Amino acid sequence: MNKPASANNWNGPYLEKKPIDPWGREYKYKAPGEHRADYDLYSLGKDGIESADDVKNWE
């Protein structure tokens, strides 16, 4: 959403607002990731807590 200091080729912002998951909450994003080297992107799922129904970009 905001230009990182190290991004010389930044041409954004690329999104007007943060995307929300199907349950109305913001997606979680970590960079660098704990599960993937580049980034982790996930939703806490229907129950809103870290549990088996989470939707994630690993596993």
What is the structure's pLDDT at 14? 86
Q: Burial code of 5-18, b = ≥16 C-beta within 10 A, e = fewer?
A: eeeeeeeeeeeeee
Say what the pTM is.
0.71
**Does some domain include residue 15?**
no
The pLDDT value recorded for residue 21 is 96
- Successive 10-residue mean pLDDT values, the chain, 59 residues: 85 88 95 94 96 94
Query: Does residue 12 lie within any of the structural domains?
Result: no
**Six-digit token pair at 39?**
């980034």
Torsional class of 28: left (φ above 0), alpha (ψ -120 to 50), beta (otherwise): beta
Q: Residue 59: inside a domain, yes or no?
A: yes
**Considering the domain boundaries, does residue 25 fall inside one?**
yes
Domain that holds residue 33: 20-59
Which residue in 3, 4, 48 sits closest to 28, CA to CA? 48
